[in-house]
Amino acid sequence: MSAEATNPATPGPVVPAAPRRRSRPRIDLRRLGRAALLGPASRGRLPDAIGHVVESHRFHHPDADLEPLRRAYVLAESSHRGQMRKSGEPYITHPLAVTLILAELGAETTTLTASLLHDTVEDTDVTLDQVGDEFGAEVRYLVDGVTKLEKVDYGAAAEPETFRKMLVATGNDVRVMSIKLADRLHNMRTLGVMRPEKQERIAKVTRDVLIPLAERLGVQALKTELEDLVFAILHPEEYAYTRELIVENASRADDPLAEFADAMRAVLRDADIQAEVLIRPRHFVSLHRTARKRGRLRGSDFGRLLVLVNEDADCYAVLGELHTCMTPVVSEFKDFIAVPKFNLYQSLHTAVARDDGQVAEVLIRTHQMHKVAEAGVVALGNPYAAPPEEQTAPDGERVDPTRPGWLSRLLDWQEAAPDPDTFWSTLREDLAQDREITVFRPDGAPSACPTVPPAWTPRTRSTARTPTPASAPVSTAAWRP
């Protein structure tokens, strides 16, 4: 059972709110996990305790059947009854908070059902067979995938073997890792009462394994907050200094980003382009990296501008107007719409400058692209629902983004490292060293893929890319979690 508990004194990182096309009250995910339970519900009625989960779920899936959620909550609450977190809160608040995180990202009903039950087999008398009989094979598989292996049986190898088991399960259904990421996010939020050495150990595993996996699965909303929480634990002085910079900038009388945003709205309005222009503050780690790169920060460095439109063509129309009516920084332009990242991310990146030296970075994408950029594979829904015919891309990557080629290769590599210590150390090293490379094939089509890390060599190399002719351009974009 996870023993982490909420520490209200621990400052939380700034997480930019994702814009909505339909308005509704913003939900504070950090506080709702601590909401008091409101008692049992009458038969057939949704328990009041999952009201926020239902509200978020209905927003993304208006026609969803809520009966599985009701039954899952009833089973989870009764099974965990009497179990407490270190803060003294009922343990059920943890699966509720994890489920709410996924509901806010747009996860479908099966994922939320499994999320409510994700600790029952590990921490209560409920068995996998009972979960399968009551909720079906999919929920059973997801719950099994995130259930930890017992230290009694595996000893020191329990943690690496648990991750190995989880990766194998994720190879068949990426929703397993979605639940694990949300589970770790809530535990990281509530890590304050643990001993410092345990906080550090958990933060390092999060940094070395889970944050890179969140990056690969495109779940930026979880990845950025995990980064900030790890930053606060492993680098408290730098975190405090970065926080002071943010507070100091917030007290400024002028806001260059707001001025840039107003100017852009005027340009797009005159061009009759329907678009939302929003300011997205940088999260702590992003601002810390920017400060190390640029030295003295300007007001426009504390965030980026996000332009949301309805159609792909509108993205390029916005780009054209901004580059025509404002001063572009040509070296900052990147087109991740024509050449998407391997983790599903699509957006146009550019930057515009003013005469006073202020430079604003701009992200241009559609509402759908933004949803996928924030939620990644969570936004894809149920991979088992009406699956398309099995297809293979010309470069060997699987077309289905819920089973990306990098994950298939990772599963091959883990089989070559049967020893738990070797697997654990090599996994962390490979996730830290991996890079994304964009290769243009002879037909001119781009293919984004991670390189093969040097630490492990796959047993077969049949999926190697077609050799690039000397005349074809090759671009590389390095990234690090």
For the record, the structure tokens of 298 come out as 């300007």
Are 263 and 277 spatial neighbours (Cβ–Cβ below 8 Å)?
no
Does residue 19 form part of some domain? no
Confidence at residue 400, expressed as pLDDT on a 0 to 100 scale: 47
Q: Among positive and negative, which fits the CA dihedral 226, 143, 145, 464?
A: negative
Conformational region of residue 272, where left means phi above 0, alpha means psi within -120 to 50, and beta covers everything else:
left
Are 53 and 100 spatial neighbours (Cβ–Cβ below 8 Å)?
yes
Does residue 5 form part of some domain? no
**Domain match, 68 and 204 both:** yes
**Domain match, 419 and 357 both:** no
Active site (annotated) includes residue 421: no
Does residue 242 form part of some domain? no
- The active-site residue, picked from 123, 144, 321, 335, is 123
Q: Model confidence over 418-430: pLDDT tens digits?
A: 677 777 777 777 7
**Domain match, 270 and 312 both:** yes
> What total number of domains does the chain contain?
3
**Domain match, 77 and 218 both:** yes
Q: Range with the lowest mean pLDDT among 151-160, 234-243, 258-267, 457-466?
A: 457-466
184, pLDDT greater than 50: yes
For the record, the structure tokens of 301 come out as 């460095």
Q: Model confidence over 39-84: pLDDT tens digits?
A: 344 445 566 678 899 999 999 999 999 999 999 999 999 999 999 8
Our measurement of the distance from residue 174's CA atom to the centroid of its chain's CA atoms, rounded to an integer in Å, reads: 12
- The active-site residue, picked from 48, 55, 122, 335, is 122
Active site (annotated) includes residue 123: yes
Q: Model confidence over 218-228: pLDDT tens digits?
A: 999 999 999 99
Are 278 and 305 spatial neighbours (Cβ–Cβ below 8 Å)?
yes
**Domain match, 322 and 417 both:** no
Owning domain of residue 49: 29-234
